[in-house]
Structure 1
Amino acid sequence: MIKTKYYAIPNAYFANYFNFLIGRVWKILPMSEENNQHLQEYMEGLQRELIGNMNLVEDLKHDGYFIILLNKIEYLINEEYTHEVCRKEVFECISIIEKIQKKYELL
């Protein structure tokens, strides 16, 4: 069980969320390739979601991997970068999510 601000949730629910999160991060790549006009808004929404998770799941507030994930999304929102850099950061974000999954035994 994963302790949240309100109640504990089963590990399976938390695992499903992190699998979903990988898809949400992955979506940045095709949006970047297409120069999608909504990419910035999409990433800002993803960032709000991650911050909400950090506030909901107490352990994430102190998780270095989760903070790195937030930092990388922050960079993609606020800095100019090439598609190659975007690709690198997206793959690193996915790797970080997988590390979080392993840490919490969600794989």
Structure 2
Amino acid sequence: MSKKIIVIEDNHDILDMIAYILEDEGYEVISSLDAEPLNDIESHKPDLVLLDDWLADGYGHQLCGQLKANPATNHIPVLLVSSVQNLKELAKLSKADGYIHKPFDIDYLIDVVKDHLKG
């Protein structure tokens, strides 16, 4: 059974590119331009969440903090994906499992995803 990844990104082109890359690697991808999939995250049962920091309906680091504060979802790895300058600090404050700076190298994205899906 393939691993499931939720990708939330407000830029349609970047969202499509990330989804295509991950699907090409054999992952099942739930992609969204907003945070709606997080409202039903327990039924989606993702193995990983890639979360843009700038969203129309909130900030990814705040959403990540909520996921990490919830005992039902705090085990799900979350990677913040953004071009903000203080991404490392936001990831640490929100208890994200990691972060990916935009623009990113495709091989780097794949490697980071694989690293967080081990085990």
TM-score (norm: length of structure 2): 0.29
Please identify which structure carries the higher strand content.
Answer: 2
**Structure ranking higher on relative contact order (CA contacts 8 Å, 6+ apart):** 1
TM-score, with structure 1 as normaliser: 0.31
